[in-house]
Every structure is written in structure tokens, then in C-alpha cells.
Structure 1
Amino acid sequence: MPSLPRPLLLGALLIAIALMAIFGIIPEKVAQFAPLALLAIFPGMWLGGGRGCRPAGER
């Protein structure tokens, strides 16, 4: 079974949190700060894993 890319999972989690707030499962205040908290907890998902550019001479 193929795995989903991590950014796609993060997006699905953000949508799930929004839907839970709409239906009253979690408080609205929690849902307002959840995207910021998730991006702070999982920085590799939105920064690309820390892979930088290589210098011109390296291969």
C-alpha cells in the first residue's frame, strides 16, 4: 500500500480539525490555533525536510 506524502496528510489533518470545530466536537478557540501549532510541531512537512541546494561544484 503506498503511503501519502506528509504535506498531504498535514492538509487533511487541518481540514479535519476545521470540520470538527464546525460540528462542535472541539472548541472554536482550539481550532483557530491548531494550524499554527501543527506547523510549529511538524516543521519538516512545510519546509521540505531541510534539504538545501548543493553548491555548484558538488554532485
Structure 2
Amino acid sequence: MSIFLKVFTIEHESEHVLEHDLSTKSNFSVPKIYTAKGDLSKRWYVYFSFLNPETNKM
């Protein structure tokens, strides 16, 4: 499993737990940056979640 997928999975799971603890949901999660441990020769990513208005799920 790639490091990006590991980081994304961990972040997503932690946000998913927090999401259910809050009485009000926001429409967007806080953007996160995957920095490849500072290695500029590798791809960096910005990832976030948003609320799907049809399903009301992130």
C-alpha cells in the first residue's frame, strides 16, 4: 500500500469518527497536505472531503 493511501486512510478514518461526534456537520473537511516527507522529487497531494447533497454523506 502506498504511503499516500495509508495517510489518506488514517486521516479519513479519524475524520469519520469525529464527524459522527459533532452535532452539526460542516460541508467540507479541513484540507490536508501529503508532503512525501518533504521529498520534492515525489508528488505532493492536497485532499479533503465534501458533503454530497444528494446522499448527505462525506
The two structures have a TM-score, normalised by structure 2, of: 0.38
Structure with larger Rg: 1
More helix by share: 1
TM-score, length of structure 1 as denominator length? 0.38
